[in-house]
């Protein structure tokens, strides 16, 4: 009896790469594009909070 091999699984269409070390690098495809936008919004909000706290002190 011979075994049938399964067909290869296609790679995921969604990918995401984020690097903050050199200052900010982003590579995204598919649904990852939305996540990059969310990360940028979160970073912007955190920056505004930091400025607000610094000016308020």
pTM over 0.85: no
Reported as a single tens digit per residue, the pLDDT across 25-48 is 877 777 777 887 888 899 899 999
pLDDT at position 44: 92
Q: How far apart are CA 14 and CA 12, in angstroms?
A: 5
Q: How far apart are CA 2 and CA 48, in angstroms?
A: 64
Beta carbons of 31 and 51 less than 8 angstroms apart: no
Q: Which domain holds residue 39?
A: 15-56
Residue 44 falls within a domain, yes or no?
yes
Least Cα distance to 16 among 41, 37, 33, 4 occurs for 33
Residue 3 falls within a domain, yes or no?
no
Residue 9 falls within a domain, yes or no?
no
Number of domains in the chain: 1
Residue 45 falls within a domain, yes or no?
yes
Q: How far apart are CA 1 and CA 4, in angstroms?
A: 10
């Amino acid at each position: 009896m011979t075994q049938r091999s399964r067909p290869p699984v296609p790679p995921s269409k969604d990918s995401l790469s984020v690097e903050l070390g050199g200052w900010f690098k982003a590579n995204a495809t598919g649904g990852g594009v939305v996540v990059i936008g969310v990360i940028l919004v979160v970073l912007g909000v955190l920056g505004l909070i930091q400025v607000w706290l610094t000016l308020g002190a």
